[in-house]
Amino acid sequence: MATIPEQLKQFGFGYDVLSQKGYRVIEGFGFIVHLNISDKMYTLRVPCAVRSPEEAAQMNGAVEAYLRNPQYSLKSAGYDGRMISMCYATKNMVLNLSDNLGTLVELCMNTIRQFNAVPVCGSCGRADNLSVYGLENRVECLCPQCFSDARSKISEKVREQSERVENVPLGVVGAIMGGAAGAVIWLLFSLMGKIVFVAGMAAAVASFFAYRRLAKKVSKLGLILSLVIGFVMMLIGMYFAIGLDVFNGLKDIGAPVSFGEALKLIPDYIRLNTGAVLFNNIFGVLTYIGGAVICVMQYRNDNKIKGRAVLLASDNKI
């Protein structure tokens, strides 16, 4: 099956990877496809306006009529006075835009022509010369003035961020707290006798985002520090979980040892039960690596969207 960008291209749409949205301008109207890949559905939205509340109500009735028609298999549809919205859920195992996207675009254009609707800015609501723009991690259909205002705000935001100093010590405290939360999850899973799958990912993600929140800014050094701290905290959680296994095992056979003494016996326990220890913990380590990859991707995306204010499409041009 074709990829999402390839499927969108079949219908003349571009694809914005940062926001995961499709976009196109047809006869001055901005069409934006909001993709929900995990739930195998998408929503087509078109900002437009009619002359009176009465016509808006009639237009909403016409759009809702498509919802009641089983031919189109819509999950929801309506017009709120500023936006036509149609949601379609694919019946396939994966999201397939070719199922109905061309039909939905045609329905929108037919409705627009029927009620003589005009394209309006998705921000101010004024009828104007519209284009589709990429603004940081979102896609919007805007008039030139609203785009200029948005670009100015984004530029100011970037300037403030560039002047902001990364608070590494406070970020380290946040990473320790986030990693500790992951370690606690690891320990709780062990107490329940469960094999740890998600605790590793929790340690990585919590450590990174806690660092970012408290440090106010993340450099490459901050990224590395947060992930190293998260890994160390995960190992600490693993160490105490193994110690708990040793303590409970000795307690079951009536051996009078304290938890501290059980921790000292961990090296001998690992040597005698290497296979079991590896089996119970390897999945947690692998998910930590997966969580670290998510954090690196988030870091890269944060840098990609920083200051982004670009034209994506004007009328019939992508």
Q: What is the pLDDT of residues 263-286, one digit of tens each?
A: 788 888 788 778 777 777 787 788
Residue in the structure block whose two tokens are 């379609």: 88
pLDDT confidence tier of residue 317, bands split at 50, 70 and 90: low
257: left (phi over 0), alpha (psi -120 to 50) or beta: beta
Amino acid at site 294:
I
Q: What is the pLDDT of residues 132-190, one digit of tens each?
A: 999 998 999 999 999 999 999 999 988 888 888 899 999 999 999 998 988 888 777 77
Q: Rounded to an integer, what distance in angstroms lies between the CA atom of residue 181 and that of residue 144?
A: 47
Domain annotation for the chain: domains and CATH numbers: 4-160 (3.30.1460), 168-305 (no CATH)
Q: What is the pLDDT of residues 222-258, one digit of tens each?
A: 999 999 999 999 888 888 888 877 877 777 777 777 8
Buried residues in 187-198 as b, exposed as e (16+ CB within 10 A): bebbeeeeebeb
Judge whether 59 and 166 are in contact, CB under 8 Å: no
SS3 call for 36: strand
Name 90's Cβ contacts closer than 8 Å, sequence gap at least 6: 40, 41, 42, 96, 97, 99, 100
Distance of CA 226 to CAs 51, 102, 113, Å? 55, 46, 55
